[in-house]
């Protein structure tokens, strides 16, 4: 085998002009004779990399048969929530037996295209199933499609995908929220019972709130992110979207747990039977803190604030103690998030193919190579939001390299400390998921400024728990002018049981 590996070099030795250009870009002064020595030394490195290139690499299992699938026609995709239809039936028995499932288009499903909402990534077909996909199929789930998502998963609204806007089931003239837009509106419409999304700044909870469904961002690391395209490894979460809290608990049971390949996960995770743990009717003895800062935004709708505060306070009728609490740094969460997310996402998307680097686990080599090259070659296929982030991210890297990313990572500890202090006193804290109802989908021809503002006006309350890593869930609190309003609850890390109990009783009270 070794002779065959050495037989052909797949990594070419850089030419002297190439090395001269690299040296100039690095501001390295190299004499011509020295450059030749460097080139000669690189020959053995190229030989070694050629060997690595020919070694077979372990991947992720693909356990269940499937056909290639198809792109749905408009008449069969009226909400534009599907980007691809498949028919993958899992085990005949299991907790999800026969339940239909939609998978967000940044999650690997072998044989189905994965564009992450961006035309630059058209033509990529993963050869692997993400861990959550395998878990769902092992539990009997029936995956019936890839759901639309926003351009590179960076928008709180639903108009940035290359496949066009995703419509809100409750009013098609309004946004479904993002970036897991298709997952939310298809659950709301009943086209699918369960759906998977990802959440970096609210991308599960924002569309769930605007579509009136249950959206859970679990504790950081509870659900393996393996095989899912991310924004920045320290804020990436896989989440669930369902019609009911019970379905949410059941799906979480299936997808949670360590897979040994995700560096975010503690090795000793123990997963309770959430669906059995939440069979309660009251919250006697539980304390709920209403976060004052979550109601204090300039663009908050007083009617939304009043509805959420009233619905949460109503839990006192089921034995809960409800009081106001202050988490001052909650208001600065978007600023801290930007310090981490802008430079981090720029690196993740443009250098590391949407995966990140420097950690143990599974790396989808085919995607990282495809995405890194495609994004550099087809940058204009990214949205205005992504272009803004990439340009400012490159500026930060050139003028303040690592300074604000590092400061943001350190300052998030201050936010974590404030949330931990509040959760010493309260079992959960609550606020509006979004302090206003879904805006109308914008017409074409927006200016860059209008486009960016529409795409990023709503994650003011959700970003905090991507930074703290605490579990957070949105449940419908009611409707204003026919549009859903979400209430968001947050609990201590890995205390999804308490979080789901509160969400379950809240759901019971608001449906009365």
- The pairing of strands 82-89 and 171-175 is unpaired
Q: Could you report the per-residue pLDDT of 459-470, keeping only the tens digit for each? A: 999 999 999 999
Residue 68 in tokens: 């290639």
Query: In this structure, are residues 474 and 311 in contact, taking their beta carbons and an 8 Å threshold?
Result: no
pLDDT in tens, 172-193: 999 999 999 999 999 999 999 9
Quote the distance between the C-alpha of residue 90 and its chain's center.
24
pLDDT of residue 17: 96
Distance CA 218, CA 239 (A): 6
Instruction: Show Cβ contacts of residue 8 under 8 Å, excluding neighbours closer than 6 positions.
Output: 50
- Residue 353 pLDDT greater than 80, yes or no: no
- From residue 395, alpha-carbon distances to 5, 92, 337, 449 in Å are 42, 53, 17, 19
Q: Flag the least confident range among 29-33, 241-245, 497-501.
A: 29-33
With tokens 């469904």, the residue in question is 213
pLDDT, one tens digit per residue, over 201-255 is: 999 999 999 999 999 999 999 999 999 999 999 999 999 999 999 999 999 999 9
Q: Is the pLDDT of residue 6 over 50?
A: no
**Residue-level pLDDT at 245:** 98
Confidence label for 358 from pLDDT (cuts 50, 70 and 90): confident
- Each residue's pLDDT tens digit, 128-169: 999 999 999 999 999 999 999 999 999 999 999 999 999 999
Mean pLDDT, rounded, for 384-405: 96
Cα separations in angstroms, 274 against 187, 221, 342, 506: 21, 17, 35, 16
- The residues assigned a catalytic role are 104, 179, 203
What average pLDDT is seen over the chain? 95
pLDDT at 455 over 90: yes
Query: How are beta strands 214-217 and 472-480 bridged, if at all?
Result: antiparallel
Q: What angle (nearest 5°) sits at the alpha carbon of residue 419, between those of residues 272 and 493?
A: 15
Q: Is residue 326 predicted with pLDDT exceeding 90?
A: yes
Quote the CA–CA distance of 17 and 163 in Å, as a whole number: 42
Counting residues of the chain whose pLDDT is more than 90, the rounded percentage is 94
Give the pLDDT of residue 2.
Answer: 43
What's the pLDDT tens digit per position in 253-302? 999 999 999 999 999 999 999 999 999 999 999 999 999 999 999 999 99
Contact 187, 239 (CB under 8 A): no
Residue 299 contacts residue 439 (beta carbons within 8 Å): no
User: What average pLDDT does this structure show over 307-336?
Assistant: 98
User: Residue 104: enclosing H or E segment and its boundaries?
Assistant: strand 100-104
Angle, CA 192 vertex, CA 191 and CA 194 arms, to 5°: 155
User: Could you give the 3-state DSSP secondary structure of residue 188?
Assistant: helix
């Amino acid at each position: 085998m070794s002779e065959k590996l050495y037989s052909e070099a797949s990594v070419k030795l850089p030419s002297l002009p190439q090395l001269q250009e690299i040296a100039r870009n690095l501001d390295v002064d190299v004499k011509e004779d020295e450059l030749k020595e460097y080139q000669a030394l690189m020959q053995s490195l190229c030989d070694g990399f050629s060997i690595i290139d020919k070694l077979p690499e372990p991947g992720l299992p693909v356990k269940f048969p499937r056909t290639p699938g198809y792109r749905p026609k408009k008449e069969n995709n009226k909400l534009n929530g599907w980007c691809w239809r498949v028919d993958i039936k899992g085990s005949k028995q299991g907790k999800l037996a026969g339940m239909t499932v939609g998978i967000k288009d940044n999650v690997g499903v072998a044989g189905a295209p994965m564009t992450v909402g961006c035309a630059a990534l058209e033509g990529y077909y993963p050869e692997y199933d993400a861990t959550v996909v395998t878990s769902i199929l092992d539990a009997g789930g029936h995956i019936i499609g890839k759901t639309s998502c926003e351009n590179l998963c960076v928008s709180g609204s639903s108009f940035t995908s290359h496949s066009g806007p995703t419509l809100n089931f409750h009013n098609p003239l309004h946004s479904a929220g993002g970036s897991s837009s298709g997952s939310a509106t298809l659950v709301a419409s009943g086209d699918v019972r369960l759906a998977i999304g990802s959440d970096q700044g609210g991308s599960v909870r924002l569309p769930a709130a605007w579509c009136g469904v249950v959206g859970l961002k679990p504790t950081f690391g509870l659900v393996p992110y393996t095989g899912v395209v991310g924004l920045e490894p320290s804020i990436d979460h896989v989440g669930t979207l369902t019609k009911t809290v019970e379905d949410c608990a059941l799906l979480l049971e299936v997808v949670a747990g360590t897979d040994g390949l995700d560096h975010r996960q503690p090795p000793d995770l123990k997963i309770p039977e959430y669906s059995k743990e939440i069979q309660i009717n009251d919250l006697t003895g539980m304390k709920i803190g209403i976060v004052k800062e979550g109601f204090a935004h300039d663009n908050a709708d007083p009617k939304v604030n009043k509805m959420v505060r009233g619905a949460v306070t109503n839990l006192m009728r089921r034995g809960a103690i409800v009081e106001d609490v202050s988490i001052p740094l909650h208001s600065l969460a978007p600023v801290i998030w930007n310090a981490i997310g802008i430079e981090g996402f720029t690196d993740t998307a443009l250098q590391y193919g949407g995966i990140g680097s420097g950690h143990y686990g599974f790396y989808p080599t085919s995607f990282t190579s495809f995405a890194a090259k495609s994004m550099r070659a087809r940058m204009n296929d990214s949205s205005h939001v992504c272009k803004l982030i990439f340009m400012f991210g490159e500026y930060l890297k050139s003028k303040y390299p690592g300074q604000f990313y590092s400061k943001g990572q350190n300052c998030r500890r201050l936010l974590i400390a404030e949330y931990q202090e509040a959760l010493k006193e309260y079992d959960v804290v609550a606020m509006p998921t979004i302090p206003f109802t879904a805006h109308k989908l914008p017409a074409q021809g927006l200016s860059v400024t209008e486009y960016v503002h529409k795409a990023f006006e709503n994650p003011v309350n959700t970003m905090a728990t991507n930074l703290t890593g605490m579990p957070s869930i949105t449940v419908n609190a009611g409707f204003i002018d026919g549009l859903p309003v979400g209430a968001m609850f947050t609990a201590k890390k890995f205390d999804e049981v308490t979080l789901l109990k509160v969400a379950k009783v809240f759901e019971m009270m608001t449906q009365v």
